[in-house]
């Protein structure tokens, strides 16, 4: 099932050109302190059967008439996996603007990084280049959305903890600052257009993915080429962090990263999920030097 968030926090099921508003099937009462994790994603597994049952009674909206927001409203963490495709390691080591004097070897040598969840937008929004004129790159990635609390997950069981998959853009300013800083300005994390529940993607390690800028192909690969595959990257992350429902793991970008400029249009694709277009705003974000 394809689950979206739209028009100010409505929850929808996408079927072909239609969206069925199923918001009222979820419990959304306030608790304080709010438990860690995204409350809607945490209920997904339980609510999906009811959703299936009620769907025929709901009058759909046209997908083209709604404004899509990030399918996860409130991830506790957006976890990034750097250098998880060999060809991207090679290109990074060959480009001083990417490696900034470092030599990348393995993902484990580098670890994971966290992107601020305030950087998150959906596909109807615009990416706004920060850092004045510095180089902002696109990185298209398969994004895993965690469905239930996970800690020390064994590789073999890792997919049981997945709610579903979506397309991630891990927008990145190149430079010497920490990845947490360079990859976390507002709008630098894109998720969408919807989440595809894990039952529809039995093998996340064999999905084509691509990215075009202004119609020109920049990235084209398959998740078969991941160094740490989806199971292993979940196990690796959960060895360190307790994962909560709605936590997102961006699994890493394939080769072909490169700059985007104000006014560009990015087209991102992951097989069995979707294709979406997103625009880079025509102006740089206002920048006040700290």
Give the interface with Mn ion as residue ranges (CB under 5 A).
139, 170, 253
Residue 8 Cα distances to 20, 27, 34, 49, 122, angstroms = 15, 16, 20, 24, 11
In 3D space, the residue among 80, 84, 102, 277 whose CA is nearest the CA of residue 180 turns out to be: 80
Q: Which pairing describes strands 120-121 and 189-197: parallel, antiparallel, or unpaired?
A: parallel
For the bound state, the minimum distance from the C-beta of residue 9 to Mn ion, rounded and expressed in Å, comes to 27
For the bound state, the minimum distance from the C-beta of residue 225 to Mn ion, rounded and expressed in Å, comes to 14
Structure-block tokens of residue 220: 């084209």
Which residue number, 42 or 185, has a Cβ lying nearer to Mn ion? 185
For the bound state, the minimum distance from the C-beta of residue 220 to Mn ion, rounded and expressed in Å, comes to 16
Residue whose Cβ sits closest to Mn ion: 170
Structure-block tokens of residue 204: 């996340």
Which residue number, 40 or 248, has a Cβ lying nearer to Mn ion? 248
Which residue number, 15 or 178, has a Cβ lying nearer to Mn ion? 178
For the bound state, the minimum distance from the C-beta of residue 116 to Mn ion, rounded and expressed in Å, comes to 14
For the bound state, the minimum distance from the C-beta of residue 141 to Mn ion, rounded and expressed in Å, comes to 6
From CA 6, how far away is CA 60, in angstroms rounded? 13
Which residue number, 14 or 230, has a Cβ lying nearer to Mn ion? 230
From CA 66, how far away is CA 31, in angstroms rounded? 29
Which residue number, 36 or 255, has a Cβ lying nearer to Mn ion? 255
- φ and ψ of 167, to 5 deg: -100, 135
From CA 214, how far away is CA 86, in angstroms rounded? 26
Question: 256 — alpha (psi -120 to 50), left (phi > 0) or beta?
Answer: left
In 3D space, the residue among 98, 148, 145, 103 whose CA is nearest the CA of residue 120 turns out to be: 145
For the bound state, the minimum distance from the C-beta of residue 139 to Mn ion, rounded and expressed in Å, comes to 4
For the bound state, the minimum distance from the C-beta of residue 252 to Mn ion, rounded and expressed in Å, comes to 6
Which residue number, 125 or 141, has a Cβ lying nearer to Mn ion? 141
From CA 158, how far away is CA 147, in angstroms rounded? 11
Which residue number, 166 or 253, has a Cβ lying nearer to Mn ion? 253
């Amino acid at each position: 099932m394809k689950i979206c968030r739209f028009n100010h926090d409505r929850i929808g099921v996408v079927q072909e050109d239609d969206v069925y508003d199923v918001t009222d099937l979820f419990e959304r009462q306030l608790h304080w302190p709010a438990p860690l994790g995204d409350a809607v994603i945490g209920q997904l597994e339980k609510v999906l059967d009811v959703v299936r049952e009620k769907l025929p009674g709901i009058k759909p909206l046209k997908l083209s008439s709604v404004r899509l927001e990030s399918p996860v409203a409130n991830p506790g963490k957006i976890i990034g996996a750097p250098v998880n495709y060999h060809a991207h390691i090679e290109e990074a080591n060959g480009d001083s603007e990417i490696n900034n004097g470092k030599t990348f070897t393995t993902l484990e040598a580098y670890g994971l990084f966290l992107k601020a969840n305030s950087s998150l937008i959906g596909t109807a929004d615009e990416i706004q280049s920060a850092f004045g004129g510095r180089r902002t790159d696109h990185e298209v990635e398969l994004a895993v959305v965690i469905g239930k609390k996970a800690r020390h997950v064994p590789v073999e069981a890792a997919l049981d903890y997945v709610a579903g998959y979506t397309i991630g853009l891990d927008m990145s300013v190149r430079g010497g600052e920490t990845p947490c800083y360079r990859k976390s300005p507002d709008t630098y994390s894109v998720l969408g257009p919807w989440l595809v529940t894990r039952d529809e993607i039995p093998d996340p390690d064999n999905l084509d993915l691509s990215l075009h800028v202004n119609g020109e192909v920049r990235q084209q690969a398959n998740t078969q080429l991941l160094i740490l595959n989806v199971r292993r990257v979940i196990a690796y992350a959960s060895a360190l962090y307790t994962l909560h429902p709605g936590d997102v793991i961006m699994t890493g970008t394939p080769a072909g990263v490169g700059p985007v400029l104000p006014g560009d249009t990015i087209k991102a694709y992951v097989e069995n999920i979707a294709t979406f277009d997103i625009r880079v705003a025509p102006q740089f974000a206002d920048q006040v030097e700290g």
